[in-house]
Copies of this chain bind each other. A is one copy, B any other.
Amino acid sequence: MDPRRIEEACLKCKDSCCSRCFEVGEESIFNCLTDEELELLVKEKRHVHFNAGETILKQNTSASHVVCIKNGLAKIIAEGDGDKKLILRLVVTHSILTGGGIFVDEIRHFTVQAVTEVNCCFIDTEKIYELVSKNSQFAFELLKLNNRQNIQMLNNLVGITQKYMPGRVADLLLYLKNEIFLCNPFDTRLSRKELSDMCGMTMESFIRILKEFKSSDIISVDGTTIHVVDEEALLLISKKG
């Protein structure tokens, strides 16, 4: 099939097609799809733009779509009773959000909110089901994705239950630097409250620990920008508890 067919099928969102939501050569669960399958995916998908702060997916609503992030930064929030929140992880450019329970109860188990501007596609869950049954490699990729999230959450759970606050903050900083922003002075765009919600503690506690790290010359902070000066020290703090 001519690649231009795909282009054509996706007039509204131009280069935002899932086919090129990912760089050439980049790993993606869509790589394994044939042109025909890709067209099936693309045909009815919708491209949506969100401003910073807007809610992309809301917890407890029905999981009718899978979201594929073309560019931007978003946070995944588990909303508890009251106004208690836990930010599970961040999702960046080129991520796929299956949304928690698409194969179980078709309900979203978390909220996703844009941190920066976010461009993404909404893909009908039905299409995903169809692809799983048509293309076993795709099923495999989805299983992988699921597994990875499972492992990440497990590590999170162990960290949060077994480490003291400095260890958790160290883990957060390492996560932001090495897994999300991939550069060193990095601008989180996240408030102290949001950062503290990522390691399950109060904003005040988080600030105090950040201050400790600053005065120990482990990091330097300027607004929402953080510079990891002594990564070894962070690794040590993470290990020790």
**Which A residues are within 8 Å of any B CB, using their own CB?**
78, 80-81, 84, 86, 88, 100-105, 109-110, 129, 132-134, 136-137, 139-140, 142-144, 146-151, 153-154, 156-158, 160-162, 200, 239, 241
Asked if A109 contacts B157 (CB within 8 A), the reply is no
Q: Is the interface of A mostly helix, strand, loop or mixed?
A: helix
Q: Tell me the smallest distance from the CB of A145 to a CB of chain B, in Å.
A: 9
Inter-chain contacts of A241 with B (CB < 8 A): 81
Question: Which residue of B80, B132, B139, B161 contacts A158 across the interface (Cβ within 8 Å)?
Answer: B80
In the bound complex, how far is the Cα of B64 from the Cα of A133, in angstroms?
25
Asked if B148 contacts A104 (CB within 8 A), the reply is yes
Asked if B150 contacts A139 (CB within 8 A), the reply is no
Asked if B162 contacts A157 (CB within 8 A), the reply is no
Q: Tell me the smallest distance from the CB of A76 to a CB of chain B, in Å.
A: 10
Asked if B153 contacts A154 (CB within 8 A), the reply is yes
What number of copies of this chain does the assembly contain?
2
Other 9 A-B pairs with CB < 8 A, given A80-B162, A84-B162, A104-B144: A81-B162, A81-B241, A86-B158, A129-B140, A132-B136, A134-B136, A146-B150, A150-B150, A153-B154
Q: Tell me the smallest distance from the CB of A143 to a CB of chain B, in Å.
A: 5
Asked if B140 contacts A143 (CB within 8 A), the reply is no
Asked if A162 contacts B86 (CB within 8 A), the reply is yes
Inter-chain contacts of A110 with B (CB < 8 A): 154
Asked if A109 contacts B151 (CB within 8 A), the reply is yes
Asked if A158 contacts B78 (CB within 8 A), the reply is yes
In the bound complex, how far is the Cα of B227 from the Cα of A175, in angstroms?
44
For A160, the closest partner residue in chain B by CB is B161
Inter-chain contacts of A161 with B (CB < 8 A): 86, 160, 200
Residue pairs across A and B with Cβ atoms less than 8 A apart, 11 shown, are A78-B158, A86-B158, A101-B151, A104-B147, A109-B151, A110-B154, A132-B143, A134-B136, A139-B140, A142-B143, A153-B157
Inter-chain contacts of A151 with B (CB < 8 A): 100-101, 104-105, 109
